Structure 1
Amino acid sequence: MVTIGDVAKAAGVSRSTVSYALSGKRSISPEVRERVETVIRSLNFTPNAGARALATSQTNVIALLAQFLTDEFAPAMLQYILGVTDRARELGYDTLMVTEEDGVKALKRISDSRMVDGFVLLNVAEHDERLNLLRTAVQPGALIGLPSDPHGLDVFDLDFAAAGRLMVDRLYGLGHREMVLVSQPQHVVERGGAYVWRLANAAHSRAEELGARLHTYFGASAQPEIGADLHRFLDAHPGATGLLLNNEAAAAALPSVLQTRHLRAPDDLSVIGRYSDDFARTFSLPYSAVDSAAAELGRRAVEQLVRHIENHTSDHVVELIPPVITERGSVGAPPPAHDLR
């Protein structure tokens, strides 16, 4: 294993000079710094994490607080996790994923231990109990998800209200006047998943403004329940010509449902979902969708967090990504006949 002594010997400098080059605690000439960094790369030297933390007061570790909840579709959550961990790795940070059910207890324990430089929070609830503690923590934090009170926090999320309006506008513009919206399970809303009602309320209001009918439902988060739900919703509204999905499990189940009903999109039913491009590729989904921007949200959250860590900044941002529909050919004019049974 390569040691700091090996680096010092190869660079022709003292061990302390190598340490200063790593920590930045003292000024050294650009020429010496470049020589040390060249040797570090050539020897593939990795500083001991404990020694680095003592020298720099940094661990180069980010804590990611996330949970795989039974009432949400786990593969969708994975897209956000990958967005965070990939960008953190690119910026030289490891990620400690924490899935403890008591998020407040976990955040306090990790913050007090100084084992990480900052936090990224997923599963952010409308009134999230972790946020007051995060505001007073020594380490900075960033949220993926918009709480009711974002003051003093960095927040990154999709603009779900704008997404709901965009989905309705897209179908209405093609002539659709009756649509069905399938959202996440009701338990998600009760737990504080405000993104569900933000999209649904905005979509419903927009449909009313346009004089269209929008039937809204909560759907299950897994098969076979969500498949049965989709059949039930379509049976209840045979005149509906558009289907909006704010439920990844519903999107994954829809191909088999349409096949069973001998329907095709968009010939018989136009479909717009809300999920990431990676999710669409994973499940080979042929439906147009508002990109949930999971990777982009993770990237922005990590970059802002690292900015705080390394530059000791205190400014905070709330960024809502404007929705964009990725067209995959599942949207068209309504069919002349409306019987979806």
Structure 2
Amino acid sequence: MVTISDVAKRAGVSRSTVSYVFSGRRAISPEVRARVADAARELGYTANAGARALRTSQTRVIGLLAQFLDDEFAPAMLQYIQGVTDTARKLGYDVLLVTDPDGPAALRRVTDSRMVDGVVLLNVAEDDPRIPLLRNAEQPGALVGLPRDGAGVDVFDLDFPEAGRLMVEQMVEAGHEEMLLISQPHDVVERGGAYVWRLRDGCMQRAEQLGVRVHHSFAPSRAPEIGECLHDLLDEHPGVTGLLLNNEAAATALPGVLHQRGLSAPDDLSVIGRYSEEFARVFSLPFSSVESAPDFLGRLAVQHLVHRIEGQRPHDSAYIARLVAPVFRDRGSVGPAKRI
């Protein structure tokens, strides 16, 4: 049977350090905690979670409340979940994924029962009913997504207005004067998905400042509807020379649509999406993009949450609201505007 001494030897630390990592009785650096967690996993060692919880009132579990919604592209959501779970594992925590559609009830269940030491919320709406409950819970919380009122929790999100401005600026630098922004389905907006209109507003404001035109349309998040919608939109706006995509399903469908129409990027249309480097790799997307940074946002949320859980940041210390600056990833899909 694998013992705590075996884990200590593999990790290159003392037996007491391993004990502190698993008991939570002393703050251990993230680097050492990760080494111990890796060694335990490699050796198949599992600490007695029940005994630990009785001793320390800690479970070493983070609650992750997320949903796979019909009107959003599931693979994009998975990237946020992976960022959370990978970081939690490296810091010595397990993750309890809760997908109950009744978010407030699920949050009460995991916090009142003390099943978790802290909570991360995904699918954050502008006026999210889970946030007041999390604010009043004994456990600390972190959000990936910017609500109207984020007081009492740490908040991390992409700077979506700046992302919209950046997309327009890249097109204008290449000489484009008429563009089409394709957003998530309108259902996302109706339930409070503020990132949709924040990016749209950033696009529209910058376009007005630069004296160019941006059309805007909502589009489905599923096939074959998204492909049909893209064809319709291109027919409706024949003067458009640049496409701005705030819809991951549209980005994955666009290569096929362009091929069917005998078009290519950037020769016929320039294209900029909003998605991650990993998303582009998985779906072999050839389009330039603004990095959505889901793994980075998940990592930030967990790191700051663990700091609060372990007392490195007191529960009532100043809360963080961090917007990550967008980064442009050039994959060669933006070229000079084609003049008709």
Alignment TM-score > 0.5, same fold: yes
SS in 1 for 2:129: coil
Amino acid at match of 2:100: E
2:10 counterpart residue number:
none
1:201-246, Cα deviation, whole Å (9 max, x unpaired): 1101111111111100000001111111111111111111000000
Structure-2 change in CA distance of 1:86 and 1:43 (3 Å) = closer
SS in 2 for 1:120: strand
Answer with 77-86 or 46-55: which moved more: 46-55
For residues 18 and 89 of structure 2, the distance between their equivalents in structure 1, rounded to whole angstroms, comes to 23
Query: How far apart are residue 44 of structure 1 and its match?
Result: 6.2
For residues 222 and 24 of structure 2, the distance between their equivalents in structure 1, rounded to whole angstroms, comes to 51
2:320 counterpart residue number:
317
- Kindly report which structure 2 residues correspond to 1:65-76, keeping only aligned pairs within 5 A, or say none: 65-76=65-76
For residues 66 and 174 of structure 1, the distance between their equivalents in structure 2, rounded to whole angstroms, comes to 39
For residues 3 and 86 of structure 1, the distance between their equivalents in structure 2, rounded to whole angstroms, comes to 25
Determine whether 1:334 maps to 2:317.
no
Structure-2 change in CA distance of 1:255 and 1:4 (3 Å) = closer
Percent of aligned pairs with the same residue?
Answer: 65
Query: How far apart are residue 335 of structure 1 and its match?
Result: 1.4
Query: How far apart are residue 319 of structure 1 and its match?
Result: 0.5
SS in 1 for 2:172: helix
1:258-278, Cα deviation, whole Å (9 max, x unpaired): 001111100110000000111
For residues 17 and 206 of structure 1, the distance between their equivalents in structure 2, rounded to whole angstroms, comes to 54
Amino acid at match of 2:320: V
1:227 counterpart residue number:
227
For residues 165 and 202 of structure 1, the distance between their equivalents in structure 2, rounded to whole angstroms, comes to 5
For residues 21 and 281 of structure 2, the distance between their equivalents in structure 1, rounded to whole angstroms, comes to 44
SS in 2 for 1:97: strand
For residues 3 and 141 of structure 2, the distance between their equivalents in structure 1, rounded to whole angstroms, comes to 33
SS in 2 for 1:181: strand
1:248 counterpart residue number:
248
Determine whether 1:192 maps to 2:187.
no
Structure-2 change in CA distance of 1:174 and 1:58 (3 Å) = same
Query: How far apart are residue 150 of structure 1 and its match?
Result: 1.1
1:116-154, Cα deviation, whole Å (9 max, x unpaired): 100000000000000000000010010000001111210
Amino acid at match of 1:64: L
Do 2:67 and 2:123's aligned partners in 1 also have CA atoms closer than 8 Å? Answer: yes
For residues 90 and 151 of structure 1, the distance between their equivalents in structure 2, rounded to whole angstroms, comes to 28
1:171-230, Cα deviation, whole Å (9 max, x unpaired): 011110000000000000001000000000110111111111110000000111111111
RMSD (Å) for aligned C-alpha atoms: 2.4
Structure-2 change in CA distance of 1:281 and 1:22 (3 Å) = closer
1:36-86, Cα deviation, whole Å (9 max, x unpaired): x9xx97986432000111112111100100000000000100010001000
SS in 2 for 1:316: coil
For residues 18 and 328 of structure 1, the distance between their equivalents in structure 2, rounded to whole angstroms, comes to 45
2:31 counterpart residue number:
none
SS in 2 for 1:196: helix
2:29 counterpart residue number:
none
1:61 counterpart residue number:
61
Amino acid at match of 1:302: V
- Kindly report which structure 2 residues correspond to 1:108-147, keeping only aligned pairs within 5 A, or say none: 108-147=108-147
SS in 2 for 1:244: strand
Determine whether 1:280 maps to 2:283.
no
SS in 2 for 1:334: coil
For residues 90 and 301 of structure 1, the distance between their equivalents in structure 2, rounded to whole angstroms, comes to 14
Number of residue-to-residue matches in the alignment? 318
Structure 1: gaps spanning 5 or more residues: 8-14, 27-36
1:287-323, Cα deviation, whole Å (9 max, x unpaired): 0000100000000000000000001513310000001
2:11 counterpart residue number:
none
SS in 1 for 2:285: coil
For residues 266 and 5 of structure 2, the distance between their equivalents in structure 1, rounded to whole angstroms, comes to 67
Determine whether 1:168 maps to 2:168.
yes
SS in 2 for 1:243: strand
Structure-2 change in CA distance of 1:180 and 1:44 (3 Å) = closer
Amino acid at match of 1:236: E
Question: Which one has the largest radius of gyration?
Answer: 1
2:205 counterpart residue number:
205
